[in-house]
Chains A and B, each alone.
Chain A
Amino acid sequence: MAPHKPSSPLQALVLAAPALALLLFFFLVPALLLGRVSLYEGGGQSGFGIGGSFYKPGTWSLHAYRDLLTDGYFRSILAFTLKFCVAEALVTVAIAYPMAFLISRMPGKWKLAAVAVVTLPKLANVLVVIYGLKLLMGTTGMVNQFLQAFGLSAAPVDLLHNLTGTMVAETYLILPYAVLILIVTLDRIDPSLAQAARGLGAGPWRTFWRVTFPLSMPGVALVFFLSLIFAFGAFVSPHLMGSPEELTIAVDVQKQTFENLNWPRGAAEAVIMLATLIVIALVWQALTLASKRARRET
């Protein structure tokens, strides 16, 4: 890259200043304040926060955390969120991989168009995706009409406000990242390796499972972990496509904050979310380091 890089710390600092200000003042400080708010005593119950009583200023207490840890309600939310994000990550990989594989084998122009199609739902308004899904998946929607027309079901199937609806919607929201990462992964694999396997007599299936798939494993692992992280923070799809059964922590943060007006509890839940994400990231880091070391030793 750039062969000469001036080391003028002052100029670099000036250039980086706006980003630093944004990150420190509107990211780090609020994150620290989040921790502080979680340690206030709840001041809720006093009339929709009119007196500004979302919490009791000046107090220090572990109330919010103690409530959360002893509360069966929160434990069931946490358990559901964890199960949900693992299931969602598996589903996403299972759908994204064949899609990325097919797209990566498309001829140039078609491939570009396919990538644009895959990216669109990510850039589009999430709520438009949800709205479309609600129309299509309603009891009189196209999906049910299709199921009945082909005799797959006699009566309309409930697809909304349950786990199915939530999973479908969340998959739509995460899929673009997954497919794009896997396309890049598959494109980077040297095509001559698969050709060599074919030349040595392996069939297409065997070539795929013995050569292409193992080489794409790092991308698959990355997609799995990213999907896990995104689905762990799922808010829009469980909120709009789920029932009270599909309550994730993110949905409960919003409920505690805006319905129960108990900011310390909402903040404590957000802190627990952050801590869990950090644990997931550390596990990911440890696994990548271990696999690198293993590869170097062989």
Chain B
Amino acid sequence: MSAGPVSSWMILARATAAALLALVLAPLVYAVWISFSPGELLEPPTGAWSLRWYRQFFENPQWTAALRNSFEIAVLAVAGALVAGTGAALAVTRYHFRGREVFNLAIMLPLFVPAVVLGMALLPFMRALGLWGSTFSIAVAHSLWSLPVVFLVTRSALEGVDSDLERAARGLGAGPIRTFLRVTLPLIAPALGAGAVMAFVLSLNESVMALFLGTPNTETLPKVIWPNLRYTLSPLVAAASGVSMAVTVAGLLGISRLTLWKRR
């Protein structure tokens, strides 16, 4: 094998990979770029950049209320997914019990059920409970949605914890709760952090269940964006895109910090 053709193949391969990755990012980057447009038209800003659409976004009560609702729901959803996911991961990795395999699989199910089916199933249920349109109903749906993610991340962290450490703590007289809090928890904290951030971002950006379960009083950011995408392409959507991307990217950077910290 000669060096010449191989390296030109390599250049072609790298260029193709770069082009494909650029295509993947294009819609996200373009939406955010256009949000800084100074004009009335949806043109990408070339010379002057402006924050006028962001100002309008934050001055508009419908959009700010939606942002607040989204954050509230995301915090509740994270709490639910974290408690349920961590507990389940501990039960599966630290205990033998009947039906463990079934439980392991059942937790993954929400990943494979279409959001519309989940929304359609939860709608009459929440209505019967008198919870249709409550922040709680959307948060529960989102908890269910991110449960598999938190569970997977925590389970793999728990499998990586040296069980000798836990046994040593127990041998030295610490109870199970104290062992968990003083030994296991600090070791899996980065994974819990990463899971929590993922759950937060997933909830913040989820649109279908929010569409089914939200009412005018509990509109989330995606629910307010939705009609704007069907009929008009308002530049306020661009600002909303910018806000949601800012939170998402900040979250991802947080996760990468957490996982690097773990490696050190």
Q: Is there contact, CB below 8 Å, between A102 and B120?
A: no
User: Is B218 interfacial (CB-CB < 8 Å)?
Assistant: no
Give CA–CA (A17, B87) in the complex, Å: 8
Stretch at the interface among A67-75, A123-131, A211-219: A123-131
CA distance A103 to B241 in the complex (A): 28
Q: Count A-B contacts at CB 8 Å.
A: 255
Question: Does A12 sit within 8 A of B, measured CB to CB?
Answer: yes
A3 CB to closest chain B CB (Å) equals 7
Q: Is the CB–CB distance between B245 and A12 below 8 Å? A: no
Q: A30 CA to B238 CA in the complex, in Å?
A: 36
Given contacts A98-B16, A128-B241, contact A7 B116 (CB under 8 A): no
A84 lies within 8 A of chain B by Cβ: no
Check: A65 CB closer than 8 A to any chain B CB.
no
Hey, which chain A residues are within 8 Å of B107, CB to CB? 19, 23
Measured between C-beta atoms, what is the minimum distance from B215 to chain A in Å? Answer: 11
Kindly list chain B residues whose C-beta atoms are within 8 Å of the C-beta of A233: 113-117
Write out the residue numbers on chain A whose beta carbons fall within 8 Å of the beta carbon of B97. 7, 9, 12-13
Q: Given the complex of chains A and B, what is the CA–CA distance between A1 and B158 in angstroms?
A: 10
Interface mask (B110-139 → A, CB under 8 Å = 1, otherwise 0): 101111111011111100100000000000
Number of interface residues of A (CB under 8 A): 84
Asked whether any CB of chain B lies closer than 8 Å to the CB of A192, the reply is: no
Binds B, one of A86-94, A112-120, A151-159, A286-294: A112-120
Residues from chain B with a CB closer than 8 A to the CB of A21 are: 84
Q: Kindly state whether residue B141 has any CB partner on chain A within 8 Å.
A: yes
Question: In chain A between 182 and 203, which residues have their CB closer than 8 angstroms to a CB of chain B?
Answer: 198
Residues of A within 8 A of B141 (CB): 26
A6/B95 in contact, CB under 8 A = yes
List 10 A-B pairs, minimum CB-CB distance, nearest first.
Answer: A233-B114, A132-B27, A12-B95, A19-B88, A132-B31, A102-B17, A125-B205, A30-B121, A18-B84, A19-B84
